[in-house]
Chain A
Amino acid sequence: MTPTIFTNARLIDPEKGTDTIGTLAIKDGLIAGPQGLDGATQIDCDGKCLAPGIVDIGVKVSEPGERHKESFRTAGLAAAAGGVTTIVTRPDTLPAIDTPEVLEFVRRRANEAAPVNVLPMAALTRSRDGREMAEIGFLLDAGAVAFTDCDRVIENPKVFSRCMSYAASLGALVVGHPQDPTLSAGAAATSGKFAALRGIPSVSPLAERMGLDRDISIVEMAGGRYHADQVTTIRAITRLRRAKEAGHDVTAGVSIHHLTLNELDVGDYRTFFKVKPPLRSEDDRVASVNAVASGLIDVISSMHTPQDEESKRLPFEEAASGAIGLETLLPASMRLYHARQMDLPTLWRALSLNPAKRFGLTSGRLTAGAPADLVLFDPDAPFVMDRFKLQSKSKNTPFDEARMEGRVLGTWVASHRIDVSPSPNS
């Protein structure tokens, strides 16, 4: 394969924290560096941004079980269309990915069908029931990159602490969902003026800190590497800071939806805005944005959760939770950039470098020798989102008809440009 050289590119380097015009060469699936290469194909970037491809943690691909909602192929195309070069998938499928055999199936399907890197997470307990540990060792050997029961919190602290200490002995990363499960049972919104007026069953934002408190206490007790999938409230952020200052091996993420939307967006019961945890107050949203900017929250992800029309076209309480986000992650993130809440290298630290590091990947960098997983994008190109033009099978985006800025011009995985046609929203 001939090398490629990107010239006149606005290079976004999250590792160095720089945003400069320059040149980048790639060869044999890896980044070669800023120097020119003989016989290289030249791509003139026209001053547009070239950044490491996004590493999206916690993507739900509905295979096996609900392929009508999303398949590896459609999720992979959606990822490529959104500048996401690596997806770390969730095990909350039907059945759950809790044995090496199911994991094997997932890896095979992913390799056949998805044009981007797919790294599967596996369930921490069998059937995600919170009772018996899954075969963490075998699953690790079979390629699981982390262990999580997703939004089903392991209620029994004894079970969770055993899982943590067993995982710790193997160096496995555990991804938790910080939430007090009994307090939040049945809730579809964050408690407060808005939810109470709408009459939606709601949960105090403190349930998140209670969950994080519990999980961090168990990390303290049992050891291990812990990542909180979503920290979205001021009070939980405070707790996260204390845990990091105390030196625990704890990191945290937040979904792009919690950074760009708040509880009022639900309006008159718009179920596309029903996510888990529920959208928060504006104060919590701003605090989350600041925590990402300061590096306290490590990772931004899409928490891509495909749902079909039937499961959303129901009364709010009964409607399914979750929103798709692979293709809207980048343009939605641009809202934070255009609002001057963070610069592009800071944004890419959370979108690409940090998740790669936490999951032991060498991607997320522009350094020579790193995988040539790249996204070329125009941060200023405006468009109006049309959900029916998205690559995902499910169209449950909260950004339908929203005015957005930031268009992906090209996505490369291991030096290969991914062809996504028909190209979305163009």
Chain B
Amino acid sequence: MSFRARHLLGIEHLAPAEITTVLDLADSYVELNRRDVKHDTALTGLTQINMFFENSTRTQASFELAGLRLGADVMNMNMQASSVKKGETLVDTALTLNAMHPDLLVVRHPNSGAVNLLAQKVNCAVLNAGDGRHEHPTQALLDALTIRRAKGRLHRLVIAICGDIAHSRVARSNIHLLGKMENRIRLVAPPTLMPSGAAEWGVEVCATMEEGLKDADVVMMLRLQKERMDGGFIPSEREYYHRFGLDAKKLSHAKPDAIVMHPGPMNRGVEIDSTIADDINRSVIQEQVEMGVAVRMAAMNLLARNLRAAREETGVMV
């Protein structure tokens, strides 16, 4: 097995073989999840705590379901209504939880790097469920699995990532992952939503959808993150939709069999036209959600194996 990581904090430090390992295992969980009886015992006896310092319905539900299906004891903590509000620091929260001996900690936090910081202070495996604008590794893995199943491969594809790249951790994780697997990546965004330095990431930076989508195999739309914006980044939503929203006309520049992806939740009529989002021949948005549970099951299973192996080797609770 070639998955050695102790935590899943990001895609940046994963090797291509580790990515493939996760995806292969996730494939088997897709089959399991489609059966009547969806139980596995990979995490039986282990405790999984979901700590979400930032609102999330979809990702939290996906992680919860993934843990339950693998037999873990799952606890959800709504950190927004907790002691954090009483002034407790992130590190103290981590130490408090650590004393309860969790095995898997799933963390989402509004600050980039916060999950790395937390991982330094605990003895269990930590999964990053999104930190600020930094990384969202399970999203990139589920996107990769979706692409691999739809296209039959995960290399030498032309993939356009479009929209609010500056505020998107999904984009960063996907750029790492798709780059490692040797795809051609194009970024499309208005200049105010394109991070400075993006041109040095080994991607093509495009100013228009027409240019970015030309002959693309995959069109990945991003949500306009209004909650992370602290000023005027775009003149208006309707102008944004006109220039960067995905509609049939813009999609016609991509390959005829190009798939359309979106990490959700969607702003219909802002970054994506409803008819495209719902077009079962083009949109794989529902599949992404399905793959999400499978990929999270795979990632947690692999981390739990490494955790158990480390504990056996050292004879102590690491």
Contacts and interface: CB of A to CB of B under 8 A. Distances in A.
Given A310-B89, A314-B90, A198 B134 contact: yes
A204 B200 CA distance: 16
B262 interface: no
Given A199-B132, A199-B134, A310-B89, A316 B113 contact: yes
Contacts of B200: 192-193
Given A199-B133, A313-B89, A269 B116 contact: yes
A204 B117 contact: no
A188 to B, nearest CB: 9
B234 interface: no
Interface in B198-224: 198, 200-201
B129 to A, nearest CB: 15
B37 to A, nearest CB: 41
Contacts of A310: 89
Interface in A186-236: 186, 191-200, 202, 204
Given A310-B89, A314-B89, A197 B201 contact: yes
Given A191-B196, A193-B200, A269 B112 contact: yes
Interface string B134-149: 1100000000000000
A315 interface: yes
Contacts of B114: 315
B195 interface: yes
Contacts of B12: 197
Nearest to B195: A196
Contacts of A194: 197
A192 B112 CA distance: 16
A265 interface: no
Interface residues of A, number: 22
A268 B197 contact: no
Contacts of B198: 193, 196
B276 interface: no
Interface string A233-269: 0000000000000000000000000000000000011
B169 interface: yes
A186 B111 CA distance: 13
Given A191-B196, A192-B197, A196-B198, A317 B112 contact: yes
B118 to A, nearest CB: 9
A191 B199 CA distance: 13
A318 interface: yes
Given A269-B113, A317-B132, A193 B197 contact: yes
Contacts of A191: 196-197
Instruction: Name the residue in A186, A194, A197 with the highest tally of chain B Cβ atoms < 10 Å from its Cβ.
Output: A197
A198 B197 contact: no
Given A199-B133, A268-B116, A317 B111 contact: yes
Nearest to B113: A269
Contacts of A204: 196
B196 A196 contact: yes
Contacts of A198: 112-113, 134
A198 to B, nearest CB: 6
Contact of A199 (B112, B201, B230): B112
B11 to A, nearest CB: 11
Contact of A316 (B89, B111, B169, B172): B111
B296 interface: no
Query: Chain A binding site: helix, strand, loop or mixed by DSSP?
Result: loop
A191 to B, nearest CB: 4
A233 to B, nearest CB: 14
A182 B132 CA distance: 22
Interface in A279-335: 310, 313-318
A195 B133 CA distance: 10
A316 B112 contact: yes
B5 interface: no
Interface in A51-80: none
Interface in B108-163: 109, 111-114, 116-117, 131-135
A290 B182 CA distance: 40
Contacts of A269: 112-113, 116-117
A317 B230 CA distance: 15
Contacts of A195: 197
B65 interface: no
Nearest to A313: B91
A80 B132 CA distance: 42
B84 to A, nearest CB: 12
B294 to A, nearest CB: 27
Nearest to B114: A315
Nearest to A191: B196
Contacts of B113: 198-200, 268-269, 315-317
A197 B113 CA distance: 11
Contacts of B111: 315-318
B88 to A, nearest CB: 12
B134 A192 contact: no
Nearest to B168: A199
Interface in B88-103: 89-91
Contacts of B131: 199
A379 to B, nearest CB: 36
Nearest to B198: A196
Contacts of B132: 199, 315, 317
Instruction: Name the residue in B91, B112, B117, B169 with the highest tally of chain A Cβ atoms < 10 Å from its Cβ.
Output: B112
B112 A315 contact: yes
Contacts of A313: 89, 91, 117
Given A199-B112, A315-B112, A193 B201 contact: yes
Contact of A196 (B91, B109, B116, B197): B197
A314 B88 CA distance: 11
B197 A200 contact: no
A199 B172 contact: yes
Contacts of A196: 166, 195-198, 201
A195 B166 CA distance: 11
14 contacts: A186-B230, A193-B197, A193-B201, A196-B195, A199-B132, A199-B172, A269-B113, A269-B117, A310-B89, A314-B89, A315-B90, A315-B109, A315-B117, A317-B111
Interface of B: 12, 89-91, 109, 111-114, 116-117, 131-135, 166, 169, 172, 195-198, 200-201, 230
> 9 nearest interchain CB pairs?
A199-B133, A269-B113, A196-B195, A193-B197, A315-B111, A199-B112, A199-B134, A315-B114, A193-B200
Given A269-B116, A313-B117, 18 more contacts: A186-B230, A191-B196, A191-B197, A193-B197, A195-B197, A197-B172, A198-B112, A199-B131, A199-B132, A199-B133, A199-B172, A268-B113, A310-B89, A313-B89, A313-B91, A314-B117, A315-B112, A316-B113
